[in-house]
Structure 1
Amino acid sequence: MRVWYIVCASVITFLAQISGVYGWNELCREAIESTAMSAITYMRLRRLKVILKGSDLVDYTWWGDEVLKRIPESYPLHYQFQTDTTCSSYNFTCENGLCLVSGVRYFFYLLMNAGYAINDSTQPNFQQPEFKYPKDIKFSPSDCLKYLVVLISDLHHPLHLDFKGADSIGNLPVDLTDFPVWKEMAMEILGTYAPSLSAFIREVYMPEYIRMNENAWYGSWTHVATLGSRYTTELELFNRKLTDTFEVWAVETASLNCSTLFSRDDVVPMNSIPGFTHAIKFTQELDERLGYLLRFQIVLAGARIAIVINYILTHREISYNEKTGLLIEKDPAKEFTWETLLFCFLFLIFLSFLVALIVVFVVVSRMLYKQCLEEKFRNFFAKFKRPRSHRYSPINRLPE
């Protein structure tokens, strides 16, 4: 029986890695992206829809998990594992740049160099970070935007900045002894009464939490207005620090694993599962804390995604040629093409022809005036002239 349990646990762990069990499920991503869409407006919204070929962010809630299934080697890209369990220092380095913070920086860099600049006088130059994707893929602007949204979302899930190895919180089993309903659901969905925390949150807890709070979940809370004045603070922070803000966000999320997500009272001894000496005791207090924390992280992630996308779309025009479908890399208004040259040439010919036509008309008109009308006008006006008076002058004749 114990051997069978170990085999099942290994299979579940493997499936978790290739299906993104640690992260947000599709419903949570939908809420994140709905929040982001609430703050993308006007011309930026038009540019967003051009990149996504008429769609918006909510249409791609499935995209991140699908890519992970097809390219399981990209699994490390979604995580930024920490080594210091005291949270006094944080790790943002990784091999080949294939980790969360580097990934966010990389796709942000690609988008800030795609298309052409709109407000080039205010756009700083961003350096390309070290990054090597496990597959030889040339990312389109649409792919970059989808990946950026997925990775910023992951950056706000505490278990995506989990501790490494044996210190992992996400791998700890959850003790559901006091909640038989949750326990049965875990067995039905995951095949175990003591699932790992990561699998429990994604596959059991969040779907049931959404179902139980359905009216509130699909309400108006997925909007940046939920943050109040903090949204303005977040916007000012990003405009000031730009890409350095990604590390600030990562530190903020990673610190949740040390103090906010769990307390010492939540961890209890457990010897019934091989390889584990402790488990997380699921309580009513933990239930409420998890629900509030994850909902807040969803809104915060969506708001920050909106801030990043608005910044990109304020500085870059990323569109495609209607005839070729290729990315337009130069501003058409500033680009001198053969079509423009031909148009200018034809316009000059037309203008020259028009000027010549006017000159001919003037010359012919003057000739006709001289030949036909000048004498008639002269005779006509001569009638109105007063006859010239002559003085009498006697004629002196010689006498005969």
Structure 2
Amino acid sequence: MRFSRGFAAVVSVAALLSAAPVAAWGPLGHRTIAGLAQQQLSEPAQREVRALLQPDDESTLVDVATWADDLRDTDPALFRSTSRLHYVNFSSAQCNYVPQRDCRKGECVVAAIGRYENILADRSRPRAERADALRFVSHFIADVHQPLHASFKRDKGGNSVQLRYGRENWNLHAVWDSLILNSTGLRWPDYAKRLSASPAPSAADAGGDPAQWAEESCRTVRDDGVYPDGNSIDDEWLARERPVAEQRMRLAAARLAATLERLLGPGRR
């Protein structure tokens, strides 16, 4: 599959060298969010997703859930030019988003979601561009709900925070990307069933906009124990923080589904 670089945000090499790593949730988290969102789409919206993706031998949101991260290997140049679009850095624990300060030149996840939503909604654009916009929207909405992708701390999204788990060394970002979820031993279909067993977010909770979602993630970092007290974690800590991660995933799925329904569903604008 190919991406039209005409609408990719261009990021300077100097900026990329100082950017935080971009992986969020890991494959399990991204596929679980995508699977939950797919289940919530109307049949007309699902048909639109299939129409956009099937020429590239894909058909569901799960199929493209990790595409934006996989670019690191499949298209390094495109990965470099879009890597800053996976996150946003807040200036303080007040967690108030100011575009001119927190997203200069539109190079952050908040602006990226809106930009690619517009491309996806524009039926005059080539299918391939809209398909890649769908891939980016699906991925970035998941990313903005990972707390460490919208933090106010100056530690590269927790990558600089080193932790000990048993005999293993981890950084905090990787813990939230992968360990909290993978330690359940579940694969994404079973994890989606697990999350579906809890009440779905209300229509009001499924609303909002990317700036509000990022502010929520920032407040989660501030208020909900995302950072452990010491430099080691155990299964008890993972079990205590897992519901926080899972609620962010439920919200991501509901908001992704609502966004795609608005852009691709029967009531599309």
Q: TM-score, normalised by structure 2?
A: 0.77
Instruction: Give 2:150's aligned residue.
Output: 161
- C-alpha contact 2:85 2:107 (8 A) present in aligned 1: yes
Code of the residue aligned with 2:33 in structure 1: it is I
Q: Which has the higher contact order (CA 8 A, sep 6+)?
A: 2
In the TM superposition, what is the alpha-carbon distance from 1:234 to its structure 2 partner? 3.0
Code of the residue aligned with 2:246 in structure 1: it is R
- C-alpha contact 1:108 1:148 (8 A) present in aligned 2: yes
User: Which of the residues 191, 200, 203 maps onto 1:232?
Assistant: 203
In the TM superposition, what is the alpha-carbon distance from 1:43 to its structure 2 partner? 1.7
Q: 5+ residue gaps in structure 2?
A: 1-16
- Matched residues in 2 for 1:24 and 1:157: separation? 7
Between 70-79 and 247-256, the greater mean CA deviation after superposition: 70-79
Shift in alpha-carbon separation, 1:214–1:158, aligned structure 2, 3 A:
same
Code of the residue aligned with 1:259 in structure 2: it is D
In the TM superposition, what is the alpha-carbon distance from 1:175 to its structure 2 partner? 3.5
- Matched residues in 2 for 1:17 and 1:65: separation? 13
Mapping for residues 287-366 of structure 1, pairs under 5 Å:
287-314=238-265, 315-316=267-268
Cα deviations by residue, 1:187-229 (Å, 9 ceiling, x for unpaired)? xxxxxx3x3211233354432x131x56994462344x7334x
Code of the residue aligned with 2:106 in structure 1: it is G
Instruction: Give 1:82's aligned residue.
Output: 90
Shift in alpha-carbon separation, 1:216–1:289, aligned structure 2, 3 A:
farther
Residue 145 (structure 1) aligned with residue 134 (structure 2): yes
Code of the residue aligned with 2:203 in structure 1: it is T
- Matched residues in 2 for 1:104 and 1:292: separation? 25
SS at match of 1:234: coil
- C-alpha contact 1:68 1:75 (8 A) present in aligned 2: no
Code of the residue aligned with 2:70 in structure 1: it is E
Mapping for residues 76-115 of structure 1, pairs under 5 Å:
76-84=84-92, 86-87=93-94, 89-92=96-99, 93-115=102-124
Larger radius of gyration: 1
- C-alpha contact 1:111 1:144 (8 A) present in aligned 2: yes
Identity %: 20
Instruction: Give 2:225's aligned residue.
Output: 261
Q: What is the RMSD computed on CA atoms of the aligned residues? A: 3.0
Mapping for residues 1-400 of structure 1, pairs under 5 Å:
20-21=22-23, 23-53=24-54, 55-69=59-73, 70=76, 71-84=79-92, 86-87=93-94, 89-92=96-99, 93-115=102-124, 140-166=129-155, 169-176=158-165, 180=166, 183=167, 186=168, 193=169, 195-207=170-182, 209-211=183-185, 213=186, 217-218=190-191, 220-223=193-196, 226-228=198-200, 230-235=201-206, 237-238=207-208, 245-262=209-226, 266-268=228-230, 279=231, 281-314=232-265, 315-316=267-268
- Matched residues in 2 for 1:139 and 1:214: separation? 30
In the TM superposition, what is the alpha-carbon distance from 1:68 to its structure 2 partner? 3.8
Shift in alpha-carbon separation, 1:65–1:262, aligned structure 2, 3 A:
closer
Shift in alpha-carbon separation, 1:214–1:58, aligned structure 2, 3 A:
closer
SS at match of 2:214: helix
- C-alpha contact 1:79 1:99 (8 A) present in aligned 2: yes
Cα deviations by residue, 1:18-73 (Å, 9 ceiling, x for unpaired)? 6x44x111111111011001111222221221111261111113312112442224
Code of the residue aligned with 1:82 in structure 2: it is F
- C-alpha contact 1:25 1:202 (8 A) present in aligned 2: yes
- Matched residues in 1 for 2:176 and 2:26: separation? 9
Cα deviations by residue, 1:223-248 (Å, 9 ceiling, x for unpaired)? 4x7334x332235x45xxxxxx2211
Cα deviations by residue, 1:283-334 (Å, 9 ceiling, x for unpaired)? 44421122211122112111110000000013559xxxxxxxxxxxxxxxxx
SS at match of 1:174: strand
Q: TM-score, normalised by structure 1?
A: 0.54
Cα deviations by residue, 1:105-148 (Å, 9 ceiling, x for unpaired)? 101111222349xxxxxxxxxxxxxxxxxxxxx97110001100
Shift in alpha-carbon separation, 1:201–1:114, aligned structure 2, 3 A:
same
- C-alpha contact 1:76 1:99 (8 A) present in aligned 2: yes
